[in-house]
Amino acid sequence: MSAPGIDLVAAPRGARDLVLLAHGGMENSTADPHSWRAPILRMWPFAAVARKAAPGVAVGLMRYRYQGWNGAAADAAADLRTVLDRLVSGPPRFDRVILIGHSMGGRAVVAAGNHSLVSGVLGLAPWLPEGEPLVRLRGPVAFAHGSADRITSPHGTAAYTKRLRAEGIPVALLTLPGEKHAMLHRAPDWNRIVRDFVTHTVNGTESTGMSFTTADHTDEVPHPHSGDAAPAAIADIARTRLTLRVTERL
């Protein structure tokens, strides 16, 4: 069993902000989460998007000990909090960390989203089961979910959003009609969500895309693209994984 860590794919000199991407996994498994599994590979294009959106920011991918969440152990969340604690004193030392997580990773970034370093939380098709503990997330906070997701529940995400808002925590909730859990069929829209969230959170300004400042209602992300983007998205995953390099392992 290896210790949890971060694979940096961008580390500009003097960077004090980090975009940290947490991939999905399984409900229960203590198997090694090797780096060529589909849930990890799916995050690589988002790393490239984040790097382009904020060139002066470090970008990294979370490295868990196990493939699974594993019940009360909540291993993915525990691993994420461990690496955040480590970053407080460094090296390297970051002032702010923006968390972006998909599926199990979405659950992990929510669970750790009250850490003192966190300055933004984006959940992509997050796994938020009924009764999930309410965490006072450090914003901006946004969730995005495909309406045709059968792996994690868009209704669960909406319910958790409602609970957060009832506690006075603003949350932007985005729905993608027709999209499934792997985020492939509407890949350009997912890339745009990541790009615009990073731009907004890092710079405190809106990009030319969607807004995250109005966070008291649910927005439907329009589908301006014709056809199914999945084949191009799979090619993009392969291309990004082969061309984007890990510069440092923390």
How high is the pLDDT of residue 123? 98
Tokens of 156: 């669960």
How high is the pLDDT of residue 90? 76
Mean pLDDT taken over the chain: 91
Residue 132, class by beta-carbon neighbours within 10 Å (0-12 exposed, 13-18 middle, 19+ buried)? middle
Beta-bridge partners for 5: 63
For the stretch 14-23, pLDDT in tens is 899 999 999 9
- The residues, ordered by sequence, that sit 6+ positions from 75 with a Cβ below 8 Å of its Cβ are 64, 65, 66, 68, 69
How high is the pLDDT of residue 28? 95
How high is the pLDDT of residue 222? 72
Radius of gyration, CA atoms only, the chain? 16
pLDDT confidence bin for 7, thresholds 50/70/90: very high
Structural domains in the chain, CATH included, are 5-249 (3.40.50.1820)
Q: What amino acid is encoded at 196 in this protein? A: D
Long-range pairs, 74-77, Cβ under 8 A, ≥24: 74/108, 74/111, 76/22, 76/25, 76/104, 76/105, 76/107, 76/108, 77/107, 77/108, 77/111, 77/112
For the stretch 42-76, pLDDT in tens is 999 999 999 999 999 999 999 999 999 999 999 99
How high is the pLDDT of residue 221? 81
pLDDT confidence bin for 9, thresholds 50/70/90: very high
pLDDT at 160 over 60: yes
What gap in Å lies between CA 97 and CA 172, rounded to an integer?
A: 19
pLDDT at 220 over 80: no
Helices 104-111, 75-89: axis angle to 10 degrees equals 50
How high is the pLDDT of residue 60? 97
DSSP string, 218-238: EEEPP--S-S--HHHHHHHHH
The pTM is what? 0.94
How high is the pLDDT of residue 174? 94
**137 dihedral zone (left: phi>0; alpha: psi -120 to 50; beta):** beta
For the stretch 165-195, pLDDT in tens is 999 999 999 999 999 999 999 999 999 999 9
